[in-house]
């Protein structure tokens, strides 16, 4: 008897261990959706999966309108096009004013004019691209010796005596193996500070320019742009990203002797421009004052046509609200579609929204943003407390037929425009996607429409539609985030 009871107890423990029952489920019974809500969500999932609406809109934004950097005529055209399109579909549309930076890329060239064993009267071309927001070099360029720093620690060790008057080259490379293992965002997080903060760190030690190995993967000698964030207490120096191959070339030559680079960057920073977030509401039937945001960003970098970043996320969100509208569904709460302006170089749109709606933040039930490319979704990432995640647990069943039934609670979510709302306690969600090749194209000239797979885009739209509609139509609203939910 004792033997059997031991086996039974051991089995029970093993079962609990295998299921890994989350604490929230242990405290309260798992929630269920009503049969009506489940049926509606299944219908919505099927409709979004079989629609090419988002894909067609992505084609319009990328191939027809083109790159959409804040302040550019294309960004302006994109807001007009989207507002008109949303009105045509039947939404209440409004434009909320946002002042955005207006930076325009100029010439960008680099060449090695001196290096060990250089054949006389030759130079070696270096592939680079100016970082967004960079100041210019003189029109005919600046010429200086290169100093290589593998890391910020190395830069510190080198000190002012080795850095002043030189061009600092940060050679820390994007870890492609990490990306292949499904940790692309982590790989990006490890190297992007050399782009954002590197120039000011170098300038504090007297550097005249800073270059970083591109914060992204891929081996086709493509430089990746992105923002430089100048510190207010450091001189502003010209900043550019090198193709990974060129960073390696310079590092290899610098090990053998003196390397001198001529760098020419002629970007311009023009006065700020008035732009907008494009906002479209599908009014709630029972609690219209309660809001569920579903969004992506409309602006993009200027080298490609901003397809993966972020026409894909934006049009997946658009496809989601379009499917809700097409089926004539009326959720209890308001679903608010937002196309954010200026995610890439300032987050002015996300900040303006949080500031303008501060008095109404308590009515923001949840905010969703897709900004991780067009890769196939596995489910949902949640920056939300255990009770909120438990309430959404039935979604796993709705999304299972498309193999997207994962709800992954996290403290770090790639939804930059929503960070101001997250700081105010609004639960934040994003699709959980395959990002293995995202940073191969991200912020490069190769971020173009052909990279979007229509079926995978429709899958993203389906995940967003089901998630947004469930939150908007559940009888109880999601609880706001506690302080520690963002730090789990
Ligand atoms: Zn983005």
* E strand or H helix at 58: helix 53-59
- The residues, any chain, with a CB within 8 Å of residue 400's CB and separated by 6 or more, are none
The catalytic residues are 343
Length of the chain (residues): 488
Stretch 372-377: mean pLDDT: 97
Q: Is 393 exposed, middle or buried, given 0-12, 13-18 or 19+ CB atoms closer than 10 A?
A: middle
- Going by pLDDT thresholds of 50, 70 and 90, the confidence category of residue 354 is very high
More confident residue, 487 or 203: 203
* Phi and psi angles of residue 295, each rounded to the nearest 5 degrees, phi first: -155, 170
- Going by pLDDT thresholds of 50, 70 and 90, the confidence category of residue 13 is very low
Among 270, 257, 247, 337, CA closest to 298: 337
Q: Which two tokens stand for residue 130?
A: 């100016």
The answer to whether the CB of 82 falls within 8 A of the CB of 339 is yes
pTM of the model: 0.92
CA 438 / ligand 1 centre spacing (Å): 11
CA–CA dist 193, 155 (Å, integer) = 14
Complete edge-to-edge strand list for the sheet that includes strand 364-369: 92-104, 268-282, 333-340, 287-297, 364-369, 428-433, 377-383, 406-409
- pLDDT higher than threshold 50 for residue 21: no
* E strand or H helix at 254: helix 244-254
- pLDDT higher than threshold 70 for residue 163: yes
Q: Which two tokens stand for residue 37?
A: 């809500």
pLDDT at 31: 75
CA 371 / ligand 1 centre spacing (Å): 5
CA 172 / ligand 1 centre spacing (Å): 22
CA 306 / ligand 1 centre spacing (Å): 9
CA 414 / ligand 1 centre spacing (Å): 9
Among 210, 202, 260, CA closest to 238: 210
Integer angstrom CA distances of residue 328 from 40, 86, 238, 283, 419 = 11, 15, 53, 12, 32
- pLDDT higher than threshold 80 for residue 212: yes
Stretch 393-414: mean pLDDT: 94
Residues 433-446 have pLDDT tens digits of: 999 999 999 999 99
CA 179 / ligand 1 centre spacing (Å): 17
Place of tokens 């691209």: 129
Complete edge-to-edge strand list for the sheet that includes strand 124-126: 124-126, 108-114, 260-265, 142-149, 167-170, 209-213, 239-242, 128-130
More confident residue, 483 or 229: 229
């Amino acid at each position: 008897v004792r033997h059997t009871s031991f086996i039974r107890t051991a089995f029970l423990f093993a079962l609990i261990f295998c299921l890994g029952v989350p604490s929230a489920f242990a405290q309260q019974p798992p929630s269920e959706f009503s049969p009506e809500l489940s049926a509606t969500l299944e219908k919505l999932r099927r409709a979004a999966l079989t629609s090419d609406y988002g894909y067609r809109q992505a084609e319009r934004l990328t191939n027809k309108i083109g790159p959409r950097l804040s302040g550019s005529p294309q960004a302006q055209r994109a807001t007009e096009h989207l507002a008109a399109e949303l009105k045509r579909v039947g939404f209440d549309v409004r434009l909320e004013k946002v002042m955005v930076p207006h930076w325009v890329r100029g010439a960008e060239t680099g060449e090695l004019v001196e290096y060990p064993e250089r054949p006389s009267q030759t130079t070696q071309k270096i592939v680079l691209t100016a970082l967004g927001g960079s100041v210019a070099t003189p029109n005919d360029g600046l010429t200086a010796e290169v100093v290589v720093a593998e890391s910020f620690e190395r830069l510190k060790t080198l000190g002012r005596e080795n850095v002043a008057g030189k061009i600092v080259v940060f050679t820390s490379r994007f870890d492609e193996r990490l990306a292949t293992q499904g940790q692309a965002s982590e790989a990006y997080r490890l190297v992007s500070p050399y782009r954002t903060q590197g120039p000011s760190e170098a300038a504090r030690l007297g550097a005249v320019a800073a270059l970083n190995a591109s914060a992204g993967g891929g081996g086709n000698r493509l430089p990746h742009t992105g923002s430089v964030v100048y510190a207010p207490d450091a001189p502003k120096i010209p900043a550019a990203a090198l193709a990974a191959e060129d960073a390696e070339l310079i590092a290899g030559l610098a090990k053998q002797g003196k390397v001198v680079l001529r760098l020419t960057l002629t970007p311009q920073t023009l006065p700020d421009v008035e732009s907008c977030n494009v906002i479209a509401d599908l009014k709630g039937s029972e609690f219209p004052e309660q809001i569920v945001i579903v969004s992506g960003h409309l602006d993009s970098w200027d080298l490609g046509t901003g397809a993966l970043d972020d026409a894909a996320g934006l049009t997946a969100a658009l496809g989601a609200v379009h499917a809700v509208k097409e089926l004539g569904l009326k959720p209890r709460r308001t679903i608010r579609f937002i196309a954010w302006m200026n995610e890439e170089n300032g987050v002015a749109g996300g900040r303006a929204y949080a500031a303008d709606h501060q008095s109404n933040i308590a009515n923001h039930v949840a905010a969703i943003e897709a900004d991780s490319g067009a890769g196939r979704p596995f489910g949902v990432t949640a920056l939300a407390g255990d009770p909120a995640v438990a309430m959404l647990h039935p979604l796993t069943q709705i999304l299972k037929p498309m193999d997207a039934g994962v709800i992954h609670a996290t403290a770090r979510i790639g939804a930059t425009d929503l960070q101001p709302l997250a700081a105010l306690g609004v639960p934040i969600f994003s699709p959980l996607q395959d990002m293995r090749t995202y940073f191969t194209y991200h912020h490069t000239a190769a971020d173009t429409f052909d990279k979007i797979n229509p079926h995978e885009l429709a899958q993203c739209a389906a995940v967003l539609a089901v998630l947004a509609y469930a939150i908007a139509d559940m009888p109880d609203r999601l609880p706001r985030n506690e302080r520690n939910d963002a730090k789990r």
